Amino acid sequence: MTYLIIAGALAFILSLLFVPGIARRRRMSRKAHADYASSRGTLHARQLHAAVKKHGLALPVLVRERDQLTATMESLTRSELIELRQALTTALVNGPLAEVRGIGPTLRDRIVEDCFDGTLESLNHAHRVQGVGEETASDIRSWARAIQNQIPARLKGEFDGKDEILARYGQRRLEIRSRRTELDEIIDARRATLTLAKDKLAVLELVTPATYRAALDGDVAAAERVTAHTLGAFPEWEQEPVWFRDITGESEGSPHGV
C-alpha cells in the first residue's frame, strides 16, 4: 500500500513537471502549422504549384502545333510542285501536243477530253481515242517521254497557271511562317516563365511547418528562412512581377496581389 501511495505521488509530481511542457509544445506546434498555412509564402507556393502544372501540360501542345507547322510547310512544298507539274503538263498537252505528227488541234482536243488526266503517263493510253492510230500513239508516247525529261527545266520558265500557283502557296507559306514565329516566341517565353516559377517554388517549398516550429524554439537559421518565406514569391510592398502575373493569371481562382 505504501508503494502505491509513493508511486502515485511520483506520478503526480512528474505530471506537474512535464505536462506544462507538453502542452506548451503542442501549442507551439499548432501555432507553427497555423502560421505556415496563412503565410504569404505558402499561398504563393500553392498558386505556383497549380500554375506550373497547368502550363507544364499546355507547353507540349504548343510544341506539337509548331512541329506540325514545320511538317505542313514540307508538305506544302510537295503539293506546290505537284500542282506546278500538272499546270505545266496541261499547258504542254493543250499546246505543243498538236505539233506531233498526225495530230492537229481537233484530235488534240479529243485526246485531252477522252484520255488526258493531268499526267503525261495518261497519254500512254492515247491509242484508245478515236482517230489515233498505232503510229500516232507511238509518236505521242515518244513525245511524252521527251517532255517528261524536260519538265525540271521547263518548270523554271513561264507557263499558264504558274503565277497563280506560286502566289497562292506563297501566301500560305507567309501565314505558316508567321504563326510558327509567333509560337516560337510564346514557347520561349513560357519556358522562361516556367523556369522562374519552378525555381521560386522550389525555394518556397524548402520551408515547412517544422521550420516554423524550429523558429519558435529560437533556431536563428530557421527564423531567417521563415522571414524570407513570409515575403512569398515577392514582397507585398513590391509590384507583382510580370512572370508571376503571366503564369498565375490564367489559373482559376488565383488571387492577385496576395
Max mean pLDDT range (20-29, 105-114, 201-210): 201-210
Helix, strand, coil percent values for the chain (each to nearest 5): 80, 0, 20
Q: How many Å apart are CA 63 and CA 19, to the nearest integer?
A: 61
Average pLDDT over residues 224-235: 93
Average pLDDT over residues 71-94: 91
pLDDT of residue 22: 63
The pLDDT-based confidence of 255 (bands split at 50, 70, 90) is: very low
pLDDT of residue 23: 64
Q: Which residues contact 176 (CB under 8 A, 6 or more apart)?
A: 69, 72, 73, 76
Average pLDDT over residues 20-25: 62
- This prediction has a pTM of 0.66
Q: Is the pLDDT of residue 257 over 80?
A: no
Report helix angle 40-93 to 162-205, nearest 10.
170
How many CA atoms does the CB half-sphere of 26 hold within 13 Å? 6
pLDDT of residue 253: 39
Chain-centroid distance, C-alpha 48: 20
